[in-house]
């Protein structure tokens, strides 16, 4: 059985974007080479990448071309190659097709399809997108959080999760410090459903 792991860059006040559409690309982010190489290693170990539509479209806009951009650092080109080649699932009610080794699911049975994907996959299913992560959390399907915290308080913006009205207990599994004051924390979610 696989594990849904929601990985996201966050501010200290758990915002993932300051203005709509920046999706972690704002100036408050401190992504250096060491951290990006850690992202690459994490992506290599991921069995399937699962994105909501908005997150997918942001990734789709840049990363397929990054692997061929000779002006970009090697670790950026490497991530582009990893993202493009990994099997992906796009969860969307509005899109019916996608490139780059991507399967599209949507509609009323999307959560059932995701639960089946989790049951049949060995390893990590990397989750991108707050709406999708919130739906998985509410359904008891989200297994872990991997938060990369940048030393900034945004005060406003898109939160890590949409409205959630109950306490969720977490267990710290890993913590790591990176350059420029960035930290990584990986947590297990205790009330995730077993398949």
Per-residue pLDDT of 27-86, as tens digits, reads 889 999 999 999 999 999 999 999 999 899 989 999 999 989 999 999 999 999 999 999
Whole-number Cα distances in Å, 128 to 4, 6, 27, 134, 158: 10, 6, 20, 11, 14
**Res 96 pLDDT > 80:** yes
SS3 state at 64: helix
Count of structural domains within the chain: 1
CA–CA gap between residue 194 and residue 118 (Å, rounded): 10
Determine the structural domain holding residue 105 and report its residue range.
2-189
Per the domain annotation, does 194 fall within a domain? Answer: no
User: What pLDDT band is residue 20 in, cutting at 50, 70 and 90?
Assistant: low
Per the domain annotation, does 195 fall within a domain? Answer: no
Closest Cα to residue 11, out of 160, 164, 165? 160
Residues 6+ apart with CB under 8 A from 71: none
* Domain CATH number, residue 143: 3.40.430.10
Q: pTM (2 decimals)?
A: 0.92
SS3 per-residue string spanning 72-123? CCHHHHHHHHHHHHCCEEEECCCCCCCCCCEEEECCCCHHHHHHHHHHHCCE
**Res 192 pLDDT > 70:** no
User: What pLDDT band is residue 19 in, cutting at 50, 70 and 90?
Assistant: low
**Res 89 pLDDT > 70:** yes
Is the separation of the CB atoms in 150 and 10 below 8 Å? yes
Per the domain annotation, does 123 fall within a domain? Answer: yes
pLDDT score, position 123: 96
């Amino acid at each position: 059985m696989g594990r849904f792991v929601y990985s996201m860059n966050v501010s200290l006040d758990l915002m993932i974007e300051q203005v709509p559409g920046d999706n972690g690309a704002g100036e408050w982010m401190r992504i250096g080479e060491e951290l990006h190489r850690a992202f690459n290693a994490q992506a290599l170990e991921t069995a399937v990448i699962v994105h909501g539509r908005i997150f997918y479209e942001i990734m789709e806009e840049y990363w397929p071309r990054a692997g061929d951009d000779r002006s970009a650092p090697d670790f950026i080109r490497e991530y582009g190659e990893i993202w493009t080649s990994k099997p992906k699932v796009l969860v969307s009610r509005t899109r019916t097709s996608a490139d780059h080794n991507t399967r599209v699911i949507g509609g009323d049975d999307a959560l059932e399809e995701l639960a089946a994907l989790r049951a049949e996959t060995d390893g990590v299913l990397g989750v991108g997108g707050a709406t999708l992560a919130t739906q998985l959390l509410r359904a008891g399907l989200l297994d872990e959080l991997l938060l990369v915290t940048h030393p900034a308080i945004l005060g406003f913006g898109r939160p890590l999760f949409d409205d959630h009205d109950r306490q969720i207990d977490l267990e710290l599994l890993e913590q790591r410090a990176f350059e420029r004051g960035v930290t990584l924390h990986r947590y297990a979610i205790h009330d995730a459903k077993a398949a």
